[in-house]
């Protein structure tokens, strides 16, 4: 089998072409945890806070783990702001999309909406409606997202907090991102 497909249009692909692409996708999926860990390391730069964006993410994950949250929510706390590396203007949605094949619908929803829920804690200070999250009132995971922001996100900018290092979370990242839960579209 050659290193590239024979087609220039997908509807002209052969079974051999798609078998080759499946091999490439398998390699890409296997390398995904390494890419995610690399993106986290890219967040270890000054960003105007008293901790780096990586420090904030590690602190949120540390708090979630110490509160005995399950690994899925700890992973969400660790990766909730990873979208800042890829798309700062819509980081919540990007982080949620990254996590979607690996977490439950509830955890996806929390990460997807955490940006608007965070406004509750600082929106009035910058002239933005702190109650913007109220449009989701009544949603089954409203309280879960509000708690995620209150307990893990908005409090995790403390340089004095005893934060666990990335190496502590690396085995969990590798295990949880090893394979999507379902079909990847």
Does any domain span residue 181? Answer: no
Confidence of residue 17 (pLDDT cuts 50, 70, 90): confident
Query: Using the 8-state DSSP alphabet, how is residue 2 labeled?
Result: -
Q: What is the average pLDDT across 126-154?
A: 98
Confidence of residue 1 (pLDDT cuts 50, 70, 90): very low
> Which residues contact residue 45 at a Cβ distance below 8 angstroms, ignoring those fewer than 6 apart?
52, 53
Residue 145: CATH number of its domain: 1.10.3210.10
Query: Hey, what are 132's tokens?
Result: 């913007």
User: Are the C-beta atoms of 21 and 5 separated by less than 8 Å?
Assistant: yes
Q: Cα–Cα distances in Å, from 111 out to 72, 91, 106, 147, 149?
A: 11, 10, 9, 12, 10
Query: Using the 8-state DSSP alphabet, how is residue 9 labeled?
Result: S
Does any domain span residue 2? Answer: no
Q: What is the average pLDDT across 43-65?
A: 97
Does any domain span residue 148? Answer: yes
Give the model's pLDDT for residue 168: 98
Give me the domain span that covers residue 161. Answer: 13-176
Would the pLDDT of 184 be above 70? no
The mean pLDDT of the chain is 94
Only one residue has tokens 């091999």, namely: 23
Q: SS3 sequence, 74-123?
A: HHHHHHCCCHHHHCHHHHHHHHHHHHHHHCCHHHHHHHHHHHHHHHHHHH
DSSP 3-state helix, strand, coil percentages of the chain (rounded to 5)?
65, 0, 35
Does any domain span residue 97? Answer: yes
Does any domain span residue 185? Answer: no
Rounded CA separation 15/125 (Å): 58
User: Are the C-beta atoms of 173 and 74 separated by less than 8 Å?
Assistant: no
User: Are the C-beta atoms of 103 and 79 separated by less than 8 Å?
Assistant: no
Would the pLDDT of 183 be above 70? no
Does any domain span residue 67? Answer: yes
Does any domain span residue 182? Answer: no
Query: Hey, what are 185's tokens?
Result: 């579209």
Give the model's pLDDT for residue 182: 65
Element (H, E) at 56: helix 53-66
Confidence of residue 22 (pLDDT cuts 50, 70, 90): confident
Percentage of residues in the chain having pLDDT higher than 70: 97
- Say which residue, 66 or 28, is predicted with more confidence: 66
Does any domain span residue 3? Answer: no
Q: What is the average pLDDT across 17-27?
A: 86
Number of domains in the chain: 1
């Amino acid at each position: 089998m050659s290193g590239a497909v024979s087609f220039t249009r997908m509807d002209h692909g052969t079974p051999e072409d798609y078998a080759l692409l499946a091999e490439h996708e398998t390699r890409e999926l296997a390398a995904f945890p390494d890419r995610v860990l690399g993106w986290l390391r890219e967040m270890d730069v000054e960003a105007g806070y008293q901790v780096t964006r990586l420090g904030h993410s590690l602190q949120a994950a540390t708090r979630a783990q110490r509160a005995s949250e399950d690994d899925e929510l700890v992973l969400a706390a660790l990766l909730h702001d990873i979208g800042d590396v890829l798309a700062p203007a819509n980081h919540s949605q990007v982080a949620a999309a990254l996590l979607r094949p690996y977490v439950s619908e509830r955890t996806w929803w929390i990460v997807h909406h955490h940006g608007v829920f965070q406004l509750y804690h600082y929106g009035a200070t910058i002239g933005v409606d702190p109650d913007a999250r109220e449009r989701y009132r009544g949603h089954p995971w409203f309280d879960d997202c509000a708690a995620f922001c209150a307990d893990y996100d908005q409090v995790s900018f403390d340089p004095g907090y005893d934060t666990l290092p990335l190496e502590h979370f690396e085995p969990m990242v590798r295990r949880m991102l090893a394979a999507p839960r379902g079909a990847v579209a």
